Structure 1
C-alpha cells in the first residue's frame, strides 16, 4: 500500500521536475554507495574539451554534495520551485520549460569557464528560484518564520543565508545573473518598445515534449500575470 501511494505521488510530479530531481538523488546515492566519485562528475573544461569527457557538462548539475543539511536544503528548493514553475507559468508548455533548462545550463556553463566552480547544480537552483520569484511578484514569503518579504527578494535572502553559513556567494550570484538574463529576454524585452522575442523554442523540442491535451481549455486557465496564477496580495508562502 505504501509503495502504491508513493508511486502515485511520484507519477503526479510533472515530468521535467521528476526527471531532474530523480537524477540528482540517484547521482548522490551512487556517490554515497561509492559506485562513482565526485572526481568523475565535476566541471573541468580541460577534461571536457581535451579528453572528451562530455558527460561532465551534465553531471556537474546533478551532484549537490554528500547527504546532509546542504543537500536536503538544495533538494527541497530545487523540487519546490522547479515544480511550481512547471505547473504554473510553464503549464502545458513542457518544451518551453526544457528549452529554459538548456538555455540556462548553456549560459551557466559558459560563465563557469571564468569562475572557480566545479559543481553548478546549486546555481541552477537559484536560477529557477529567481525566475519563479520575478514571475510571482505579489506572493509574500515567510523564511523559516524569521523574515516576511515579497517573492522577488527571495534569491537575495538565500544569498544572505549562504553568506551567514560561510559559503561563497559566487554560486548565488551566478544563478541570479543567469535567471535575470532569461527573465529579461523572455518576459521584459518582448514587451519593450522596439523589442521582440529573442528566445524561441526549437520545433524539434515542441515535437518531442508538447502533446495535445484532452481538455481543450487546458491552456486557458486564468492567470493574473505572465508566469503565475492569481496568487493575489496577502498570500503567505513558506520557503
Structure 2
C-alpha cells in the first residue's frame, strides 16, 4: 500500500475506517471468487434456523461487485460517515456506534418485509442523512454540476442511484435507509431535546459500550 494511501486511511476515524475496510475486503473476496454473495446475504431462515449468524453482519458489508455503483455508494458513505464521526460524534464514538447498531437492527427487522437480502446501502445512508439534517445550511456541489443545500443531499443521491441503475428498485434500499435514518434523527435531535429535555437510552450508548 503506498505511503500516501496508508496515511490517509489511518486518518479516517475508527468506526468509519473499520466499516470501510470490511466493505472493501468483502467485495474483493467476492471478486476473487474466495466467497460468493450467497454466503453473505441475510434471511431469517438461513441466519437463525440454520444458525448462520454471520449473515446478520456480512449483509452490511457487501456493496456488490466492484463497479461504478460500488464506488458511488462507498465514496459518499465514507465521506459523510467520516464527517459525522469527526463532528457531532468526535468525542462520543460509542454513541455513534450505538446509533449505527440501532439502525442495523431496525433494518434487519424490516428486511423480510421489503425482500432485501443486502443492507449495506440502506445502512450507509444513515450517516449521510443524519449529517445532512445537522448541517441544514451547508451548500453542497454535486459533481460540479448542481449546488444544493445539505437536507436535499439524500434525495439527490437516491435520484442519482436510480438514474445510474435505470430502475427504481435499485434505489429502494437507499429509500429504506433514509426512512430508518429519519427515525434515528427524530429520536436524537427532536424527541430527546423537545419531549424529554435530555438524552436517553435511545440516543446515548449504554455504559460500558
Q: TM-score, normalised by structure 2?
A: 0.92
Q: Within 5 Å, which residues of 2 pair with 1:145-156?
A: 145-156=144-155
- How large is the RMSD of aligned CA atoms in angstroms? 1.5
Q: Secondary structure of 2:140's match? A: strand
- Residue 196 of structure 1, CA deviation: 5.1
Q: 1:83 & 1:46 partners in 2: Cα distance?
A: 34
Q: 1:179 & 1:75 partners in 2: Cα distance?
A: 17
Of the structure 1 ranges 161-170 and 74-83, higher mean CA displacement relative to structure 2 is found in 161-170
Higher-helix-fraction structure: 2
* Residues 8 and 153 of structure 1: CA distance in aligned 2, closer, same or farther (over 3 Å): same
Q: Secondary structure of 2:2's match? A: helix
- Residue 171 of structure 1, CA deviation: 0.9
Q: Which has the higher contact order (CA 8 A, sep 6+)?
A: 1
Contact 2:100 2:126 in 1 (8 A): no
Q: 1:10 & 1:44 partners in 2: Cα distance?
A: 33
Aligned to 1:171: 173
Of the structure 1 ranges 187-196 and 27-36, higher mean CA displacement relative to structure 2 is found in 187-196
What is the aligned counterpart of 2:189 among 180, 187, 190? 187
Aligned to 1:47: 46
Aligned to 2:19: 20
- Residue 93 of structure 1, CA deviation: 0.9
Bigger Cα Rg: 1
- Residue 170 of structure 1, CA deviation: 1.9
Q: 1:53 & 1:194 partners in 2: Cα distance?
A: 40
Q: Within 5 Å, which residues of 2 pair with 1:1-239?
A: 3-165=2-164, 166-167=166-167, 168=169, 169-193=171-195, 197-198=199-200, 199=202, 200-205=204-209
Q: TM-score, normalised by structure 1?
A: 0.81
- Residue 191 of structure 1, CA deviation: 2.1
Deviation per residue, 1:145-197 (Å, 9 max, x gap): 23211100111111222222324232122111111111000011122255653
Q: Secondary structure of 2:148's match? A: strand
Q: Structure 1: give runs of 5+ residues left out of the alignment.
A: 206-239
Contact 1:189 1:197 in 2 (8 A): no
Q: Structure 2: give runs of 5+ residues left out of the alignment.
A: none
Number of residue pairs matched? 204
Q: 2:156 & 2:77 partners in 1: Cα distance?
A: 16
Q: Secondary structure of 2:62's match? A: coil
